[in-house]
Structure 1
């Protein structure tokens, strides 16, 4: 294995990412025959086939996945080395790939702006996805740090709490329940719910909150794939929604949406900054973790803003 080169590993990674040698070659700035040669040399070195050629493209074999894991680990270590060299030089430079679940996109830009004001030499990239997509990106090493409501199971991670995450139930301002107080779970269960897809953090919290309410799971509501769609649908009077308070702070403040006074709400959760614990922490990652732990909460929407005085 001593003859394996970085070029070979990067070729294999690009083939896996695109599923086609032509596309991998375009990414790497090489010709398709050159990428094919790199793959053949690596397969000769390992003595195993690294990709199955299928009608849908190149698919990594078990041996190929093992090589890919090593390639990703080497690339990460090279990034760490680059940041460490910059740190030794006394230069606050580096890069950070930040992923956020869709609920966190409402405050992530403020966090990034504040952090980059203190560390202008650190280049940041932002990826927004649902919980499943963000966890998958952590698994395949596409992210350095992810912001989410709960650390994912099944991945070795280090998690830092950086603020409270209130969950609320919202309705249109003219909904009959807006004027009621101490609404029970049984009463709210009779409403038409608009909810995120199964497996999302908000959906999981909602199912836990409503657990034990007779008959609720028989007709839980209508699934929607984004918080924005849910908010617009609630405004239109299609139903009520269990949602992150941080996604509706502006709409509640401007009275386009109203909070329902449901017993047990708001449900208090926390925001976490999550990174893999089985990889080295770069100076840029360490700086961002420290920033979130010390100052992250101040860039979250103030929870008091969610409760304007009612105008009955």
Structure 2
């Protein structure tokens, strides 16, 4: 057999994501490149590693065993790299963070300075919906999670990073200047998918205000909602943090309405009692010292709204 480390890493990512397309996105490769390497890897085995049923990819039992072995090999390679850097006096290790999808507008700014200071640290950041973020935290698959709604069922510790404000938003050209609460049953509302923190917050507002909503659309990402608003398909309650450019370019506008904005908090959370690695402990120390400066430098624009 003559498989490469690259093939092991690609196969492992395909198994973890359950999709060639998602693996390609996670590895910043094209889908054909991943497919070719996956085929080359498969060609070295007489037993199928994966199978496609109804356009869905499944990993065989043999494939799962190979994936487990591949993960052990990849971890050993990381260990060698870490030890080499540590011998040279650099901080090394992995920092694994799971982030709710809208948090992608927040988390990178609280990471960039730390990664620049410690180039030996490998960052693994998974951006997904709230349910999967909480699941990865509960399963101890990550060091930290970034959320805007704290999970009530988990015993956690937290560090608050930044206020999160949600407004009613519409297209600058086609939207009404003023909308009253009773008008909600007349306007098309765009929701995030179930499991999204933004969806939970939006539904909580509607329920609290006893609003009737008759027309609604459901989309699976903040970017998809934004594009629908830009196209004039309706209105949505959105986090301010994700629409900065569109507000500056006067493509979207905030529509004043009683009871908004909704204010929550972006918080970095971890399981209570978790034994932090040296890297994650160092990262918490970094945030304690640097977060006020990061907020002032990167997020002061939020104060004008």
TM-score normalised by structure 1 residue count: 0.67
Counterpart secondary structure, 2:247: helix
TM-score normalised by structure 2 residue count: 0.68
Q: How far apart are residue 214 of structure 1 and its match?
A: 4.5
Provide, for residues 107-133 of structure 1, a one-character-per-residue CA deviation record: whole Å limited to 9, x for no partner.
Answer: 333332222112222111111100011
Counterpart secondary structure, 1:216: coil
Residue 31 of structure 2 corresponds to which residue in structure 1? none
Contact 2:186 2:215 in 1 (8 A): no
Q: Give matches, 1:6-155, under 5 Å.
A: 20-29=60-69, 91-155=90-154
| Alignment partners' CA distance in 2, 1:143 and 1:212 | 34
Identify unmatched segments of 5+ residues in structure 2. 1-14, 17-57
Provide, for residues 108-163 of structure 1, a one-character-per-residue CA deviation record: whole Å limited to 9, x for no partner.
Answer: 33332222112222111111100011111112222111111022232222111011
Moved more, 108-117 or 263-272: 108-117
Q: How far apart are residue 104 of structure 1 and its match?
A: 0.8
RMSD over aligned Cα atoms: 3.4
Give the counterpart of 2:204 among 204, 208, 219: 208
2:230 is the alignment partner of 1:235: yes
Q: Which has the larger radius of gyration?
A: 1
| Alignment partners' CA distance in 1, 2:108 and 2:114 | 10
Provide, for residues 192-246 of structure 1, a one-character-per-residue CA deviation record: whole Å limited to 9, x for no partner.
Answer: 11011123211111122222444515x2621111111111111111100111111
Q: How far apart are residue 92 of structure 1 and its match?
A: 1.9
2:185 is the alignment partner of 1:186: no
Could you say which structure has the greater relative contact order, defined with CA pairs below 8 angstroms and 6 or more residues apart? 1
Number of residue pairs matched? 242
Counterpart secondary structure, 2:66: helix
Residue 260 of structure 1 corresponds to which residue in structure 2? 255
Contact 1:94 1:123 in 2 (8 A): yes
Q: How far apart are residue 90 of structure 1 and its match?
A: 6.2
